[in-house]
Amino acid sequence: MKNIVILISGGGSNMAAIVKTAQQQDWAQRLGARVAAVISNKAEAKGLVFAREQGIATAVLDHQRFATREAFDAELMALIDPYQPALVVLAGFMRILTPGFVAHYAGRLVNIHPSLLPAFAGLHTHQRALDAGCKFAGVTVHQVTAELDLGPILDQAVVPVLPGDTAETLAARVLTQEHVIYPRAVAALLPRL
């Protein structure tokens, strides 16, 4: 069985979309894969509740307890590695990972970013798209490399920018597409691992 470990920091809506899709499409039977664990850097992350309700193992590792990113990432790897993950999925995990962590999971680490990369890497993507006068925004699933938001693109979805859009209304429309393409990209990647 190919294990998937999902990292979250908050509500976990993308994690939930992946878990629900895996259940509905019977990834265990069809792809030989399952979501084995959900790990958060925040104890209050609401996504942990959903994961527990689905019978998925959960863990919390508070990044604030560590003096360096390297120390946190080393302990995070120690939590992930016992699952022997085929794939580590960042689903709203709000930490920049060290090159050592990224190298450890090279080719098996994916992220979702709320823009049409390579445009608007980093934070505040929706406001930046509006400020730039973009007619379209969107979302990208990509493999993670040491360069922030610059890994190979696995899937994208385009969302029109509507008159009167705010960063919040645009973000809400983009989020609906995130829930479609993230499970699709993970399912497409699994047979290649």
Q: Give me the active site residues, please.
A: 113
Enter the tokens of residue 141: 């699933």
Looking at residue 140, what DSSP letter applies?
Answer: E
Cα separation, 117 vs 6, in Å, equals: 22
User: Alpha-carbon Rg of the chain, whole angstroms?
Assistant: 16
Q: Spell out a b/e string for 85-108, using b for 16 or more CB atoms within 10 Å of the CB, else e.
A: bbbbbbbbbeeebbeebbebbeeb
Contact assessment for residue 52 and residue 151, using Cβ atoms and an 8 Å cutoff: no
